[in-house]
Amino acid sequence: MAKVVVAPVAELPPGERKLVEAGDKRIVVFNLGGEFFALSDRCPHQGGSLCAGLVSGHVESPEPGVYHYSRKGEMVRCPWHYWEFDIRTGKSWFDPKRVQVRQFPAQVESGAALVEGPYQAETFPVRVEDSYVVVEA
Amino acid sequence: MSPSPIFQGLRPIDCDLHPMVPSMRALTPYMDEFWADQVVERNITTLDSQSWPIKAPKTIRADWRGPNGRGAETVEQLRTQVLDRFGVETGILNPLYGVQLVLNADMAVAFTRALNDWIRAEWLDKDDRLRASIVLPLQSIEASLAEIERLAPDRRFVQVLALVMGEDPLGKRQYWPIYEACERHGLTFGIHAGSAYRHPQTSVGWTSWYLEEYAANQQGFQSQLASLVTEGALVQHPKLKVVLLESGVTWLPGFLWRLQKTWKGVRFETPWVTRPPAEILRDQIRLTVQPLDAPEAEVERALGHLRSDDMLLWASDWPHWQFDGDEAIPPGLPERLLPKILRENALATYARLHEGALA
């Protein structure tokens, strides 16, 4: 797996997402309150771009008419047919075992570590004193 | 008379029989004095509904009509035409008379009670093989509940009955006390083709022809299933069984596909629907096989799409003209499924059939 530098941490604040390309893969990286999660940008249904999807919360119900709304910002819906996926796991809500978006490891690494490589060249310079969001793809 | 050979050994349960009320005068003995007099003074002659016009060929099979052109008016006719003819062990009566069309709720309750008592006295008391549905006066939910409580102690009532095109979508919460009563008493909720004419029989407006209206029942059934699932009526009443009567069958898989496919995208609207809609419906919905709506050669393939062998219940739909002669089992039903469709599925559906003679 190659490491891809997505962005300086400061440029991908909580609630934001960014699309990166790694070889022939398109990957969308989300910042959920300081934690980073990377999913394939291809919906497993028909290939819609999840990066273009609505991000919402999760609603559950113990009985008709009662709405328990939680985890705001942690579910992404494909813009084509509104299938919803858990950003933390890539799993669909309605069939979590069989319908999943591929997940990639994402973490923050220091510029100092990254300049030693190997990492995939990016369109921005990596500075030793900054931190970066990195995806292994 | 010995039963038709195709039924021998199968002890069939007929889930859809329609005794027809000869005229309103047949019901007045079962009304209180006020309503009995009203029927006479207002000259209310009949409540035959245009959902089943008496002269329409479909309403009564030609060789089952009496000299007056009507039919299904006596237990004797039922015995010779169906019960003895097909060796039926148990038959469930679903009276279709236009009591659901009456707009005055007090009148509707009086007429519906009379209809249910007529069924009890003129049919159930006359043949041990018979069971019946409690017709609900859904003009009033309170009155419907009272009617269930009044008749449920008579264990020969095994189901309650509504029309597919009635007052409101049946999943709505105002109907839930009825489902709770059904669960509590071990009664199924039967939904039969037909309209109370509160709304056009199609979602695009009123129909012009009998043909349009008969075919439109299928859309009505689809809308009721969608309502029962999305409103949460089925998940909230997991013991409830809903039986679709004279609904047709082969439209169901295509409808389930659309319902389930779309649910995947918009399930957040109805978060209480926590299982795929098709699974919920497979567990709680049953359908009678008359009519089936498929050519003989395609029946097995069409039924395969249901992905369940438990959903279908045999019915003759007497006296409606769904078949000729003794072809009361729709051609093409797989031989291996006949024990389930003719008997076992009904026993698994109707809790009260386990009692009495069938225990």
The ranges assigned to domains in chain B are 8-358
Provide mean pLDDT across the span B53-62: 95
CB B341 within 8 A of CB B290: no
pTM, whole model, 2 decimals? 0.92
Is residue A63 within 8 angstroms of chain B, CB to CB? yes
From A77, which residue of chain B is nearest by alpha-carbon distance?
B265
> Do the chains contact at A64 and B276, CB–CB below 8 Å?
no
Q: Is A24 on the interface with B (CB under 8 A)?
A: no
How close A31 gets to chain B, by Cα (Å)?
Answer: 23
Contact A93 B267 (CB under 8 A): yes
* Residue of chain B whose Cα is closest to the Cα of A78: B265
Indicate the domain borders of chain A.
3-136
pLDDT tens-digit readout, B203-245: 999 999 999 999 999 999 999 999 999 999 999 999 999 999 9
Decide if B268 and A56 are in contact by the 8 Å CB cutoff.
yes
A63/B264 Cβ within 8 A: no
Each residue of B175-210: pLDDT tens digit?
999 999 999 999 999 999 999 999 999 999 999 999
Cβ(B174)–Cβ(B162) under 8 Å?
Answer: no
In this prediction, residue A23 carries a pLDDT of 87
**Contact assessment for residue B60 and residue B321, using Cβ atoms and an 8 Å cutoff:** yes
Pairing between strand A131-136 and B13-17?
A: unpaired
Q: Average pLDDT for residues B287-296, to the nearest whole number?
A: 96
pLDDT in tens, B28-57: 999 999 999 999 999 999 999 999 999 999
Distance CA A1, CA B254 (A): 44
Q: Tell me, yes or no, if B179 comes closer than 8 A to chain A by beta carbon.
A: no
Q: Which CATH architecture has domain B8-358?
A: Alpha-Beta Barrel (3.20)
DSSP category for residue B98: G
Please report how the helices B210-230 and B252-266 are oriented relative to each other, as an axis angle in degrees rounded to 10: 40
User: Is B317 an interface residue toward A (CB < 8 Å)?
Assistant: no
Which among A64, A84, A95 has CB closest to B268?
A84
The predicted structure's pLDDT at residue A121:
54
Average pLDDT score over residue span B107-115: 98
Rounded-to-integer distance, Cα B23 and Cα A109, Å:
87
Do residue A82 and residue B232 have CB atoms under 8 angstroms apart? Answer: no
pLDDT on residue B320: 97
What is the rounded average pLDDT of the residues B313-318? 98
pLDDT band at residue B13 using 50, 70 and 90 as cut-offs: very high
Question: Is the minimum CB–CB distance between A70 and chain B shorter than 8 Å?
Answer: no
Residues of A in contact with B232 (CB under 8 A): 63-65
Among residues of chain B, what percentage have pLDDT more than 70? 98
Give Cβ neighbours of residue A20 (< 8 Å, ≥ 6 apart).
A4, A6, A26, A27, A28, A29, A135
Contact B52, B64 (CB under 8 A): no
Give the model's pLDDT for residue A3: 86
Q: Does B267 touch chain A (CB under 8 A)?
A: yes
What is the tens place of the pLDDT at every residue in B82-109? 999 999 999 999 999 999 999 999 999 9
Complex ipTM tops 0.85: no
Can you tell me the mean pLDDT for B323-334?
95
Query: Phi and psi at residue A18, in whole multiples of 5°?
Result: -145, 140
Task: Say yes or no for a CB contact (<8 Å) between B265 and A64.
Answer: no
A chain contacts of residue B280, beta-carbon cutoff 8 Å? none
Which single residue is written with the structure tokens 């009670």? B113
Over residues B253-276, the mean pLDDT reads: 95
The rounded distance, in Å, linking the Cα atoms of A80 and A64 is 27
Judge residue B199's burial from the number of C-beta atoms within 10 Å of its C-beta, 0-12 exposed, 13-18 middle, 19 or more buried: middle
- Considering only CB atoms, which chain A residues are within 8 Å of B169? none
Q: Which residues on chain A are in Cβ contact (under 8 Å) with B274?
A: 60-61
Q: Is the pLDDT of residue B357 over 50?
A: no
The mean per-residue pLDDT over the stretch B60-67 comes to 96
**A71 CA to centre of own chain:** 15
B248-278 in b/e form (b: 16+ CB < 10 A) is bbbbbeebbeebbeebbbebbebbbbeebbb
CA-to-CA dists, residue A110 to A14, A20, B61, B240, angstroms: 18, 19, 85, 60
Q: Is the pLDDT of residue B166 over 90?
A: yes
Q: CB-CB: which of A67, A82, A83 is closest to B271?
A: A67
Where chain A has pLDDT below 70, the residues are 117-123
Cα A66–B271–B226 angle (5° rounding)? 110
pLDDT for B354: 83
pLDDT of residue B8: 79
Buried b (16+ CB within 10 A) or exposed e, A64-85: beeeeeeeebbbbbbebebbbb
Token pair listed for B274: 């926590």
Which among A56, A61, A71 is the top mutation candidate for probing chain B, defined by the most B β-carbons within 10 Å of its own β-carbon? A61
Looking at residue B126, what DSSP letter applies? Answer: G
Collect all residues of chain B within an 8 Å Cβ-Cβ radius of residue A83: 264-265
% pLDDT > 90, chain B: 96
Q: In CATH, which superfamily holds the domain spanning A3-136?
A: Rieske [2Fe-2S] iron-sulphur domain (2.102.10.10)
Mean pLDDT of B298-326: 96
A84 touches B: beta carbon within 8 Å: yes
Confidence of residue B170 (pLDDT cuts 50, 70, 90): very high
Report the pLDDT value the prediction gives residue B359, as an integer from 0 to 100. 37
Report yes or no: B38 at the A interface, CB cutoff 8 Å. no
